[in-house]
């Protein structure tokens, strides 16, 4: 036994020594694609870099010998007939084949794609890596790496068209993927495998009933489980997955259903089994990505990032995994983390358009700029100190301040942290933050509405040590409203309602602490801009329906320079005209004076509006009227 171990050890060392001096043969997924710049047998210039610059849907490199590669060459020709040169580029490299034999081959097969003879490629550095033919490589265009390797004449090679359709599906180019599956069926490729892929294409298009029918025809329980999951039928998804036994993708779907149901321990076990099962890369990628979401939801940011990165390596088109990774870096929040979040989200954008990733990237870029603005940071620090002192004073004095029940309060909103926590509501990490920040951004400045800066608000709440539970207190809400000069406090929360996730928005009147406005909208993670637009339109319409502006005269030393307590935050503008009012006869009910009739005694036209006050000119003053502080003004409306 000892002798055998010594021999094995010696052989292993010898292999390491020999291997160290040898270049690795063959191509592997993730490798850089080979450099190709030559002229093909038709006299066409072929430059792979130039082709990739055009960002086609797919680039296929096909290494073959005419006597063994005819079947695949014919399938590639069928693909070429379907797509333009800008959408699909095929470069066939005839190994050990001369110009004349390849021309003859091309004429017989009616080949129209690039065809390179051996003599123009045999000096390339990668030439020796091709030790098996036929060999088909799919190029991952954004990073110019190899996305898929199909070696020899095995079963995968026979199903080349389905492989192409699968690649297009992963890119979410579903129309083109569906067209290729039709050709794959006509070409006699594995019908069940093609129909399975067709079901997933239909799912990606949101055609759940059609997908269910397709999966049902071939008895795909994993596919039926996925349909149930997309419908929000978590019990149905788990039941269908259980019928599939140890099918790796069924386990992946079951784990995702358990995760959404909040059964985190069971989800972890199931997803681990799925990740270790022998399933296709993009299917395993789903399981690993879900594992990342599980780690993320439990606060394990490092573990989540590692899982998201692995998921994207399994499926280079997995934009969701990249978006999740970007969200994890953003949540960690350090300066380097934000830079990593930016790079990751930019990588996602290079693969395909994705609204959530694009919005998150836009927000992360703004956060990086804010973090690098030293002067602004110092100003905010000073303001936080002042606001903190002001809050403490209000709390200590029992908020004993004169109450101005007449003047219009500034249209200022402060969005405070909501109460949503502890539930796995979104497939995509960071969706809640993206929606909240985008709502704040879209409301800011619309119809004169001002929103308290997020960075300042977060730092103030941190300074005051106020958590979400304290923010439900009416006393706290009133104090914050006064400190921030915010007439309304906004709260955004999320909740599950059957198969749907709902966003709830409510505005609290910071003085009365009563609900001023509330609404809800269904969240579509694939279309966050539409969700935001719906909320912002309703919210701003409510705030725009306010009554005419009202205020008080602060100083009337000169009729040509009357100072009032309205300003830009109220929406006051130069040229606005106000009635100057005096209290008239009392209005009584049950012997009690409840108000006074207002008597116009003149007009005031604003000539300048500043951040804290406005200046106007008085006119049409009634005889005997002298302007004084605390006199009321009310906007004249048509």
Between residues 392 and 330, the one the model is more confident about? 330
Closest listed residue to residue 441, CA positions, set 558, 381, 360, 506: 360
Looking at residue 545, its pLDDT comes to: 64
The neighbour count for residue 306, using CB atoms within 10 Å, is 17
Task: State whether 620 and 568 are in the same domain.
Answer: yes
Structure confidence at residue 90 as a pLDDT band (50, 70, 90) = very high
Tell me how far apart the alpha carbons of residues 479 and 485 are, in angstroms, rounded to a whole number.
10
Query: 227 lies in a domain?
Result: no
Q: Over pLDDT 70: what percentage of the chain?
A: 93
Between residues 399 and 138, the one the model is more confident about? 138
Looking at residue 126, its pLDDT comes to: 87
Contact 268, 294 (CB under 8 A): yes
Task: State whether 439 and 519 are in the same domain.
Answer: yes
Burial level of 134, CB count in 10 A (0-12/13-18/19+)? buried
Burial level of 341, CB count in 10 A (0-12/13-18/19+)? buried
Average pLDDT over residues 120-130: 86
Please report, for the domain that includes residue 562, its CATH number.
Answer: 2.40.30
User: What would the pLDDT profile of 196-210 be if each residue is shown by its tens digit?
Assistant: 999 999 999 999 999
Q: What six digits make up the tokens of 249?
A: 């993708």
Q: Which residue has the tokens 């989540």?
A: 304
Q: Which residue has the tokens 């349909």?
A: 227
Looking at residue 382, its pLDDT comes to: 85
Please report, for the domain that includes residue 469, its CATH number.
Answer: 3.40.50.10610
User: What would the pLDDT profile of 457-504 be if each residue is shown by its tens digit?
Assistant: 888 888 888 887 888 888 888 888 888 888 899 999 998 887 789 999
Beta strands in 340-499 (DSSP E): 412-416, 450-451, 488-497
Tell me how far apart the alpha carbons of residues 349 and 352 are, in angstroms, rounded to a whole number.
5
3-state class of 202 per DSSP? helix
Residue 364 predicted with pLDDT over 90: yes
Query: 534 lies in a domain?
Result: yes
- DSSP letter for 32, please: B
Residue 293 predicted with pLDDT over 50: yes
Q: What is the dihedral angle through the alpha carbons of 497, 500, 501, 502, rounded to the nearest 10 degrees?
A: -70
Helix-helix angle 281-297:319-332, to 10 degrees: 20
Cβ contacts of residue 523 below 8 Å, gap of 6+?
426, 431, 435, 494, 500, 501, 502, 503, 531
Which of 488, 511, 544 is the last residue before a domain boundary? 544
| Distance from the Cα of residue 270 to its chain's centroid | 26
Tell me how far apart the alpha carbons of residues 609 and 341 are, in angstroms, rounded to a whole number.
41
Q: What six digits make up the tokens of 496?
A: 């599950």
Contact 517, 506 (CB under 8 A): yes
Task: State whether 555 and 512 are in the same domain.
Answer: no
Provide Rg for the chain, Cα atoms. Answer: 34
Query: 110 lies in a domain?
Result: no
Q: Over pLDDT 90: what percentage of the chain?
A: 57
Tell me how far apart the alpha carbons of residues 473 and 517 are, in angstroms, rounded to a whole number.
18
Query: 276 lies in a domain?
Result: no
Query: 8 lies in a domain?
Result: no
Task: State whether 539 and 556 are in the same domain.
Answer: no
Structure confidence at residue 385 as a pLDDT band (50, 70, 90) = confident
Which contacts qualify for 614-617: CB closer than 8 Å, 24 or more apart?
A: 614/563, 614/564, 614/566, 614/567, 614/572, 615/561, 615/562, 615/563, 615/564, 616/562, 616/564, 616/578, 617/559, 617/560, 617/561, 617/562
Task: State whether 622 and 587 are in the same domain.
Answer: yes
Looking at residue 156, its pLDDT comes to: 57
Tell me how far apart the alpha carbons of residues 237 and 242 are, in angstroms, rounded to a whole number.
9
Tell me how far apart the alpha carbons of residues 427 and 344 are, in angstroms, rounded to a whole number.
18
Residue 258 predicted with pLDDT over 70: yes
Q: Which residue has the tokens 């399975």?
A: 196
Average pLDDT over residues 616-625: 93
Task: State whether 410 and 486 are in the same domain.
Answer: yes
Residue 298, preceding peptide bond in cis (omega within 30° of 0): no
Question: Residue 624 region, left (φ>0) first, then alpha (ψ -120 to 50), else beta?
Answer: left
Average pLDDT over residues 602-620: 95
Which of 544, 570, 589 is the last residue before a domain boundary? 544
Query: 630 lies in a domain?
Result: yes
Task: State whether 557 and 493 are in the same domain.
Answer: no
Query: What's the total number of domains in the chain?
Result: 2
Beta strands 614-619; 488-497: pairing state = unpaired
User: CA of 167: how far to CAs of 139, 283, 338, in Å?
Assistant: 10, 12, 31
Looking at residue 19, its pLDDT comes to: 40
Structure confidence at residue 422 as a pLDDT band (50, 70, 90) = low
Element (H, E) at 257: helix 248-260
3-state class of 94 per DSSP? strand
Task: State whether 418 and 534 are in the same domain.
Answer: yes
Q: Which residue has the tokens 């350090």?
A: 334
Between residues 582 and 15, the one the model is more confident about? 582
Task: State whether 386 and 497 are in the same domain.
Answer: yes
Structure confidence at residue 25 as a pLDDT band (50, 70, 90) = low
The neighbour count for residue 44, using CB atoms within 10 Å, is 12
Q: What six digits make up the tokens of 63?
A: 């290494």
Average pLDDT over residues 122-141: 87
Task: State whether 535 and 559 are in the same domain.
Answer: no
Q: Which residue has the tokens 């694939």?
A: 526
Which of 510, 544, 578 is the last residue before a domain boundary? 544
Closest listed residue to residue 318, CA positions, set 147, 178, 494: 147
Looking at residue 14, its pLDDT comes to: 38
Query: 487 lies in a domain?
Result: yes
Average pLDDT, the chain: 88
Query: 72 lies in a domain?
Result: no
Looking at residue 68, its pLDDT comes to: 77
Looking at residue 537, its pLDDT comes to: 93
pTM for the whole thing? 0.84
Between residues 594 and 67, the one the model is more confident about? 67
Tell me how far apart the alpha carbons of residues 383 and 391 are, in angstroms, rounded to a whole number.
12
Looking at residue 21, its pLDDT comes to: 39
Between residues 108 and 212, the one the model is more confident about? 212
Tell me how far apart the alpha carbons of residues 424 and 311 are, in angstroms, rounded to a whole number.
19
Tell me how far apart the alpha carbons of residues 170 and 148 are, in angstroms, rounded to a whole number.
12
Structure confidence at residue 270 as a pLDDT band (50, 70, 90) = very high
User: What would the pLDDT profile of 510-519 be if each residue is shown by its tens digit?
Assistant: 888 899 999 9
- In this structure, of 60-64, 246-250, 459-463, 616-620, the range with the lowest mean pLDDT score is 459-463
Question: Residue 74 region, left (φ>0) first, then alpha (ψ -120 to 50), else beta?
Answer: alpha
Q: Which residue has the tokens 């397709």?
A: 214
Looking at residue 402, its pLDDT comes to: 56
How many residues appear in the chain? 638
Q: Which residue has the tokens 């985190």?
A: 264
CA angle 49, 55, 60 (to 5 degrees): 70
Q: What six digits make up the tokens of 381?
A: 């620090």
Average pLDDT over residues 378-404: 77
Contact 569, 485 (CB under 8 A): yes
Between residues 333 and 12, the one the model is more confident about? 333
Q: Which residue has the tokens 């063959």?
A: 26
Beta strands in 3-43 (DSSP E): 37-39
Tell me how far apart the alpha carbons of residues 442 and 439 are, in angstroms, rounded to a whole number.
5
Task: State whether 446 and 582 are in the same domain.
Answer: no
Tell me how far apart the alpha carbons of residues 146 and 402 are, in angstroms, rounded to a whole number.
72
Structure confidence at residue 280 as a pLDDT band (50, 70, 90) = confident
Which neighbouring-strand residues pair with 136?
A: 62, 150
Q: Would you say the C-alpha torsion 295, 148, 204, 431 has a positive or negative sign?
A: positive
Q: Which residue has the tokens 């001096």?
A: 21
Task: State whether 528 and 556 are in the same domain.
Answer: no
Domain range for 568: 550-635
Looking at residue 17, its pLDDT comes to: 37
Closest listed residue to residue 274, CA positions, set 305, 252, 256: 252
């Amino acid at each position: 036994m000892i002798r055998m171990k010594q021999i094995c050890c010696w052989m292993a060392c010898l292999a390491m020594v020999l291997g160290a001096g040898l270049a690795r043969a063959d191509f592997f997924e993730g490798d850089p694609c080979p450099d190709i710049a030559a002229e093909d047998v038709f006299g066409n210039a072929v430059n792979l870099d130039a082709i990739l610059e055009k960002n086609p849907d797919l680039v296929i490199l096909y290494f073959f010998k005419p006597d063994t590669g005819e079947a695949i060459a014919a399938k590639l020709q069928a693909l070429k007939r379907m797509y333009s040169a800008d959408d699909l580029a095929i470069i066939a490299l005839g190994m050990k084949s001369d110009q004349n034999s390849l021309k003859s081959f091309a004429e017989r097969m009616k080949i129209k794609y690039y065809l390179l003879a051996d003599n123009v490629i045999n000096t390339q550095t990668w030439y020796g890596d091709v030790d098996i033919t036929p060999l088909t490589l799919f190029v991952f265009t954004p990073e110019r790496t190899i996305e898929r390797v199909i070696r020899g004449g095995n079963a995968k090679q026979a199903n080349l068209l389905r492989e192409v359709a699968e690649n297009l599906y992963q890119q979410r180019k579903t129309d083109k993927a569906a067209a290729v599956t039709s050709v794959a069926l006509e070409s006699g490729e594995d019908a069940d495998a093609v129909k399975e892929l067709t079901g997933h294409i239909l799912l990606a298009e949101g055609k759940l009933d059609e997908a269910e029918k397709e999966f049902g025809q071939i008895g795909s329980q994993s596919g039926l489980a996925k349909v149930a999951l997309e419908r929000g039928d978590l019990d149905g998804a788990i039941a269908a997955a259980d019928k599939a036994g140890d099918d790796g993708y069924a386990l992946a779907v079951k784990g995702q259903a358990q995760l959404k149901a909040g059964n985190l321990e069971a989800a972890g076990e199931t997803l681990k089994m799925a990740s270790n099962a022998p399933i296709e890369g993009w299917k395993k990628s789903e399981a690993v990505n879900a594992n990342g979401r599980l780690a993320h939801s439990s606060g394990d940011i490092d573990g989540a990032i590692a899982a998201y990165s692995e998921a994207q390596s399994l499926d280079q088109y997995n934009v969701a995994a990249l978006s999740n990774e970007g969200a994890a870096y953003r949540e960690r929040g350090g300066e380097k983390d934000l830079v990593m979040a930016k790079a990751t989200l930019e990588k996602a954008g290079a693969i395909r358009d994705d609204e959530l990733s694009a919005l998150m990237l836009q927000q992360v870029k703004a956060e990086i700029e804010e973090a690098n603005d030293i002067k602004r940071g110092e100003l905010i620090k000073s303001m936080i100190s002042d606001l903190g002192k002001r809050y403490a004073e209000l709390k200590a004095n029992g908020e004993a301040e004169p109450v101005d029940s007449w003047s219009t309060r500034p249209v200022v909103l402060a969005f405070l942290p909501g109460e949503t926590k502890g539930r796995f509501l979104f497939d995509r990490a960071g969706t809640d933050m993206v929606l909240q920040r985008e709502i704040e951004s879209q409301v800011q400045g619309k119809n004169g509405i001002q929103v308290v800066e997020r960075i300042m608000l977060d730092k103030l709440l941190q300074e005051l040590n106020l958590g979400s539970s304290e923010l439900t207190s009416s006393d706290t809400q009133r104090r914050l409203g006064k400190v921030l000069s915010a007439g309304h406090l906004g709260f955004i929360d999320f909740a599950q309602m059957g198969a749907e996730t709902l966003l709830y928005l409510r505005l609290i009147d910071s003085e009365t602490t009563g609900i001023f406005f509330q609404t809800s909208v269904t969240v579509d993670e694939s279309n966050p801009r539409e969700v935001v637009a719906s909320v912002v339109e309703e919210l701003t319409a409510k705030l725009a329906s306010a009554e005419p502006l009202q205020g008080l005269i602060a100083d009337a030393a000169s009729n040509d320079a009357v100072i009032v307590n309205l300003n830009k935050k109220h929406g006051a503008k130069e040229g606005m005209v106000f009635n100057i009012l005096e209290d008239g006869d009392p209005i009584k009910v049950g012997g009690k004076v409840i108000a006074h009739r207002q008597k116009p005694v003149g007009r005031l036209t604003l000539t300048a509006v500043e951040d804290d006050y406005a200046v106007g000119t008085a006119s049409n003053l009634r005889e005997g009227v002298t302007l004084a502080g605390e006199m009321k003004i009310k906007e004249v409306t048509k």
